[in-house]
Amino acid sequence: MFQSLGRYILLLRLSFRKPEKLSVYRAEILREMVSQGIGSLGIICIISVFIGAVAAIQVAFQLVSPLVPRAVVGSISRDSTILEFSPTISALVLSGRIGSSIASQIGTMRVTEQIDALEIMGVNAPGYLISPKIISGISMIPLLVIISVILGLTGGYIACLLSRDIAPADFVAGLQNGFNTVTVTVCAVKAVTFGFIITSVCSYFGFYTSGGALEVGQSATKGVVFSCIWILFADLVISSLLL
C-alpha cells in the first residue's frame, strides 16, 4: 500500500513538471474541459433533478408533526443537497463517467505503446497526459456541482408542485430561511477535492497498466473503486473539519 502511495505521489510530481510548450498543454486542457464538463452535463442534470425531488419527498414524509413548520422541509432539502447530495453523489457518478474513461484511455495508450512513443520523443508523458485532466477536473467538477445544486433544489420544488404534500411556497420559504454560507464553502471544497481525486487516482491506475485489453478493463474498474473509496473518506474528513 505504501509503495502504491509513493508511486502515486511521484507520478503527481512528474505530472506537474514544467511543460514543454504551454500552448499545446492549454489546448489539451480545453479539450479535457469540454470532454469532462459538457460530456457529463446530461447525466448530472438527470440525477440532480431526481435526487432533489426524492430528498424533498422523503423529508416531507418524515416531518409530519404539526409542531414542525412545513418550511423546514425546504431548509433540510437545501442543506442536504448543498452539503451532501450534490457534491458526493455527483462525484460518485462522475468517477464512473469520467474516471473510467481516463483510466481506460491512458491504459490503452500504455498497452499500445503510445506512452512509449511520447517518451521517445522527449515528451514528459505524465505531464502531457495527466496534468490537463487534473486541471480540468478541479475546475469543471465544481461547475458541475453548482449546476447539480441548482437542479437538485429545482427538483425538490417540482416534487412539491406534483405531490402536494407540501406547498411550493413553504418549500421556497424554507430555502430562504437560515441560510448559512459555510455550507457553500464546504460544498466547494468537497467539489474541488473530489475532482482531484477522480482524475488523479484514475490516471494513476491507467498509467501503470501493463498487459492487454483485459488489464485495461481491470485498471478502469480499480480506478473507479478506489476513487469512490477516497471520495467517501475525503467527504468524512472535510465534513468533520469544516462543519
Q: Which residues bind other proteins (CB under 8 A)?
A: 20-21, 24, 108-109, 112-114, 116-117, 119-124
CB of 63 to other proteins, least distance (A): 51
What whole-number distance in Å separates Cα of residue 172 and Cα of residue 92? 28
Q: Which is nearer to other proteins, 117 or 242 (CB)?
A: 117
Q: Which is nearer to other proteins, 127 or 152 (CB)?
A: 127
What whole-number distance in Å separates Cα of residue 18 and Cα of residue 113? 24
Q: Which is nearer to other proteins, 7 or 21 (CB)?
A: 21
Q: Which is nearer to other proteins, 90 or 136 (CB)?
A: 136
**Amino acid at position 70, single letter:** R
CB of 56 to other proteins, least distance (A): 42
| Residue 108: Cβ within 10 Å count | 18
CB of 217 to other proteins, least distance (A): 17
Q: Cell digits for 10?
A: 511521484
Contact 39, 102 (CB under 8 A): no
CB of 119 to other proteins, least distance (A): 6
- Contact residues for 51 (Cβ-Cβ < 8 A; gap 6+): 81, 85, 86, 89, 152, 155
CB of 107 to other proteins, least distance (A): 13
What whole-number distance in Å separates Cα of residue 21 and Cα of residue 4? 30
Q: Which is nearer to other proteins, 116 or 169 (CB)?
A: 116
What whole-number distance in Å separates Cα of residue 114 and Cα of residue 106? 9
82 by DSSP, 3-state: which? helix
CB of 133 to other proteins, least distance (A): 13
| Residue 10: Cβ within 10 Å count | 11
What whole-number distance in Å separates Cα of residue 239 and Cα of residue 37? 25
Q: Which is nearer to other proteins, 20 or 237 (CB)?
A: 20
